[in-house]
Amino acid sequence: MQAVGAALLFANSTAIVTDAFKKGKTGFGLGVNQIAATAGFLLGPVVGGVLVSISWQWIFLINVPIGIFGAVWGMLKLREPEKMPKKQNFDWKGAATFFLGMSGLLFAISTAAFPIGITMPEIYSILVVSLLLLSLFLFIELREAQPLIDLSLFKHKLFAIANLANLLSGLANGTVLFTLIFFLQGPYGQTPLEAGILIAPFGIASMLVGPLFGYLSDKYGSRMFTFAGMIISSAGLFGLSTIAASTPYPTIALCMTLIGLGSGMFNSPNNNAIMSSVDPDRRGIASGMIRMLSNTGIMFSIMIAFPLLLSHVSVQALIHVFLHGGGFRSNTVSLLAFESGMHEVFLLGGGIALFTAVISALRPRYTPMVEGM
């Protein structure tokens, strides 16, 4: 239920912001929207650290009054700027096959990473069925008059490459928060609240530069900013691949700041390129695509990262560290094993970020999408 509610919010927020700003100012609007998302990202671990000291249930309960307020405010204030076409049909067959296929795929990969209570033959069976369902989904979408995902949009090179870069960016940066939280509460021996405060440079840097580079992408295009952003992110990720329990915090903060700066430089210009390349009646599809691919990249990155972190450290040890902090209780073997796995995670992320920079540099300049492409 939380996932459905989050999808309704996030999948439509980019489209709402794009509609709210005039053409030529979309990047700035998306940058401002990035502030809101990053502020939540920044405050979440800190507020969560405070709440978990009271009771872990409050991490969920605190959202109830906020959600009620947001729902009422949205009903009173939000208006549809475009007149919606009549006689629209929902693609139930596409939605069902996509939901089942993608859910099965993510479940199979996650259980392969954490094979608890399920055998490998069962995982392989789920994976095969999921791939068959996703193949059926593509078959349906190519023949559907009003498809769930308009695959014809990917004929537009800018739209296709920018979305690929979006997926790869999520794959490169998706584990930064989770891995750093484990590192700060494990080798660094901090409490959950202290760890939440210490990751602040990542969010602050991204929040500060998002509107600036969104604004600049309105004036000068997005290609050079997305390229530079991923180069800077890769530098931060490679920097984190060298840290250890003895590393001074300013060094860690510098690496986090570089990743945050790179993400801020990349996200709003890249989203601007995607949203500006589609017609107004397709912005909802494009917005949903941005969120889906970003989240898919993050999910896959976590599924890749955690087996590396867990290769020589028990799940129970990590759970204790995540909930209570305080390090690995002088367990040198677990400490060194965790740091080794963490270095592999950040090296992989840095390599993916570099590849994403190359993809961003090779994409075409902005051109409006031709109707019917």
Question: Where is pLDDT greater, at 357 or 25?
Answer: 357
Dmax (CA) for the chain in angstroms is 66
Hey, what amino acid is at 18?
Answer: T
For 286-331, write each residue's pLDDT tens digit.
888 888 888 888 888 877 887 777 666 666 666 666 665 556 555 5
Residue 125 to residues 121, 122, 132, 299, 300, Cα–Cα distance (Å)? 6, 5, 11, 21, 19
Mean pLDDT over 39-47 rounds to: 74
Query: Residue 369's pLDDT is what?
Result: 45
CA-based angle 353:156:38, to the nearest 5?
A: 40
- Catalogue the E-assigned strands of 140-274: none
Provide DSSP, 116-178. -SS-HHHHHHHHHHHHHHHHHHHHHHTT-SS-SS-GGGGGSHHHHHHHHHHHHHHHHHTTHHH
Hey, what amino acid is at 240?
Answer: L
Q: Tokens 């089942």 correspond to what residue?
A: 100
Query: How far apart, in whole angstroms, are the C-alpha atoms of residue 193 and residue 103?
Result: 33
End-to-end CA distance of the chain: 36
DSSP secondary structure code for residue 90 in this structure: -
User: Please, what's the b/e burial string for 242-267 (b: 16 or more CB within 10 A of its CB; e: otherwise)?
Assistant: ebeeebeeeebbebbbbbbbbbbbbb
| Confidence band for 211, pLDDT divided at 50, 70 and 90 | confident
Hey, what amino acid is at 37?
Answer: A
Q: Return the number of other C-beta atoms located less than 10 Å from residue 62's C-beta.
A: 14
| Confidence band for 354, pLDDT divided at 50, 70 and 90 | very high
What is the total residue count of the chain? Answer: 373
Give me 303's structure tokens: 């599924």
Task: Check pLDDT > 50 for residue 75.
Answer: yes
* Global model pTM greater than 0.85: no
Question: Where is pLDDT greater, at 192 or 119?
Answer: 119
Task: Check pLDDT > 90 for residue 168.
Answer: yes
Question: Where is pLDDT greater, at 335 or 197?
Answer: 197
Task: Check pLDDT > 50 for residue 237.
Answer: yes
Sorted by sequence, the CB contacts under 8 Å of residue 85 that are 6+ apart come out as 281
Task: Check pLDDT > 90 for residue 275.
Answer: no
Please tell me the number of Cα atoms within 13 Å of 228 on its side-chain side.
12
